[in-house]
């Protein structure tokens, strides 16, 4: 089976301390849906940082989109990053931009025509329930509203892979269900989805998803979907 991500014997340590992640090996299939679970401090955010190229490993091999990103020159990394949508736990909205302009940012970086941007962003803003808040700046939005802007920004460009760190942590159950529906729709169009979450009820809503579980920096594979090398179908 082809893979969009390959980790082989990856370790990550910060400074001179013990490894945060140890001997991580797995593959992610293009167009699949994965939940990353584990207790606080298990290393979920660290693993996501490796996935969206914010951090390089201390050891091991990582390939994204068939490219070795460990040895890749840093100046080439932004090209790969544009193929990945990221929902950060702390939102990371641009404070001086409106909700509309925050969502539009990936499209403008990609050179999309402003007329198309207006249509696509307007539709996305309305879909996440912020049609009346499009001109508001992040400081005037609630935590849940900021979360929805961050998610809209991450998915607006229809990335090849979406990485989301606790994306429903600041929204009510109804909005969480809508956002999960959005991720599921993106997945059906071929986007590989990786969602880190503590919410096992959320996990249960996508029974076809594979589960990646981190325990003290080591990866467990309860669904058998992450074997390295990839399991060959019978």
**pLDDT digit string, tens, across residues 20-56:** 999 999 999 999 999 999 888 889 999 999 999 999 9
CB atoms within 10 A of CB 191: 21
Instruction: Report if residue 168 sits inside a domain.
Output: no
**pLDDT value for 7:** 95
Predicted pLDDT at 20: 94
Predicted confidence (pLDDT) at residue 146 exceeds the cutoff of 60: yes
Output 222 or 120, whichever has higher pLDDT.
Answer: 120
Q: What is the pLDDT of residue 39?
A: 87
Residue 141 lies in a domain: yes
Residue 218 has pLDDT above 60, yes or no: yes
Pairing of strands 192-196, 33-37: parallel
Full domain range(s) for residue 105: 94-158
Instruction: Please name the residue ranges forming H helices in 52-199.
Output: 77-81, 99-109, 114-127, 143-155, 173-188
Residue 138 falls within a domain, yes or no? yes
Predicted local distance difference test score (pLDDT) of residue 233: 40
- What stretches of the chain adopt beta strand conformation (E)? 5-13, 19-28, 33-37, 59-64, 67-68, 84-87, 161-165, 192-196, 210-215, 218-220
Q: Where does the pLDDT of residue 234 fall: very low under 50, low under 70, confident under 90, or very high at 90 and above?
A: very low
Query: Quick one: average pLDDT of 150-170?
Result: 90
Instruction: Read off the DSSP letter of residue 232.
Output: P
Residue 111: inside a domain: yes
- Please report whether residue 148 resides in a domain: yes
Residue with the two structure tokens 């544009």: 82
206 by DSSP, 3-state: which? Answer: coil
* Any domain includes 100: yes
In a domain, 110, yes or no: yes
- Please count the structural domains in the chain: 1
Domain presence at residue 140: yes
């Amino acid at each position: 089976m082809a893979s969009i991500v390959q980790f082989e014997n990856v370790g990550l340590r910060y400074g001179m301390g013990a490894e945060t992640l140890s001997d991580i090996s797995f593959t992610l299939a293009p167009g699949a849906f994965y939940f990353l679970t584990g207790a606080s401090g298990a290393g979920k955010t660290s693993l996501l940082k490796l996935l969206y190229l914010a951090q390089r490993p201390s050891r091991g091999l990582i390939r994204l989109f068939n490219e070795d990103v460990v040895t890749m020159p840093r100046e080439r990394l932004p090209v790969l990053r544009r193929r990945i949508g990221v929902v950060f736990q702390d939102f990371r909205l641009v404070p001086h931009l409106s909700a509309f302009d925050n969502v539009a940012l990936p499209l403008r970086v990609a050179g999309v025509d402003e007329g198309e941007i207006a249509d696509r962003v307007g539709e996305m803003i309305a879909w996440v329930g912020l049609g009346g808040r499009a001109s508001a700046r992040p400081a005037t939005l609630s935590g849940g509203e900021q979360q929805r802007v961050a998610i809209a920004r991450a998915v607006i460009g229809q990335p090849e892979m979406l990485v989301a760190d606790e994306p429903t942590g600041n929204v009510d159950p109804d909005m969480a269900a809508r956002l999960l529906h959005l991720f599921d729709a993106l997945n059906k169009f071929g986007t590989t989805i990786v969602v880190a979450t503590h919410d096992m009820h959320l996990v249960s809503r996508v029974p076809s998803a594979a589960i990646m579980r981190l325990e003290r920096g080591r990866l467990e594979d309860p669904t058998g979907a992450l074997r390295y090398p990839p399991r060959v179908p019978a």
